[in-house]
Amino acid sequence: MKYMTFNSSCSYAAVANLLSFYSVDTEDRKIALEMGLPFLFDYEDGCYLSGPMLQGEKWFNLYLKTIGYAMTEKEIKREQLCAYLRDLQYAMLGIYVSERNKHAVIYTGIQDGKFCMLNNKWEQADEPDTLLLSEQELLQRVDEIIMVAVLEKAPCETVQTESLLEHSVSVLQALSKDITTFCSQEKSAMDIRLSMNTLFRAILLDGITMLDLIGESSTIQKLKVVQSQFMNAVKENKPLQIDQCLDIPLLNTAISEYIALIRTHV
């Protein structure tokens, strides 16, 4: 079994586990590095994304196509999920392991009349390697529409990422401007809390994780200072003008360093 080796990497560990069924030996960290994940950013549905939040066939195929595989995804309605899975050998999907926490698992077949799910986790986590779920238990843990992904053999391709890298620079530039604007205005405690995932996570959490993968300690140190300041602002749980709490010039310096790093790979 392939385990998670960096924060929030369950879907990347899932890809590694899927590949292991086809006798391909890899891991989440290798996938991330070989596809250039530390240098990729995106903006989707009002949310800035980076690192392990970049999921799905668009992103995973940056790696998979170079080794002769491809991922395809299909949206399945909840009431059709169990029948659909029964016709597959292996598949990746997201299920809720708690009320708000969705986690990538691998369907590996039916065992004792239950759906067997490989649980992508940290090696030392106090969780089972596999989950056995009845049809009712499985349906209680999924959304109304479920994205189910499978692997298939495909011709090897050289994947071009220049346009994605240029897009990532534009996204980071926009992120810097949006953070500066957001922090210059008084925001409610709820708005600040919501901004954790939509605005700040891409640079102050997943961005740090990605920089750690490539050993960029100087930029990490700057971001960790701002991360600590931001978490203190969240804990205040009251209306704030956040630029009175955050070192915005330091954050923008770190973002500029990140942009320069991406440009060296274009």
- Blockwise average pLDDT, block size 10, the chain, 266 residues: 95 97 96 97 97 96 97 97 97 88 94 95 92 96 97 94 97 98 97 97 98 97 98 96 96 98 91
- The pLDDT value recorded for residue 266 is 76
- The pLDDT value recorded for residue 100 is 76
- The pLDDT value recorded for residue 162 is 95
Which residues have a Cβ under 8 Å from the Cβ of 177 and sit 6 or more positions away? none
Rounded to two decimals, what is the model's pTM? 0.94
CA distances from 183 to 176, 220, 259 (A): 11, 21, 21
The answer to whether 214 and 35 have CB atoms below 8 angstroms apart is: no
Q: How far apart are CA 217 and CA 223, in angstroms?
A: 10
Interhelix angle for 57-64 vs 10-20, to 10°? 50
Q: How far apart are CA 26 and CA 250, in angstroms?
A: 37
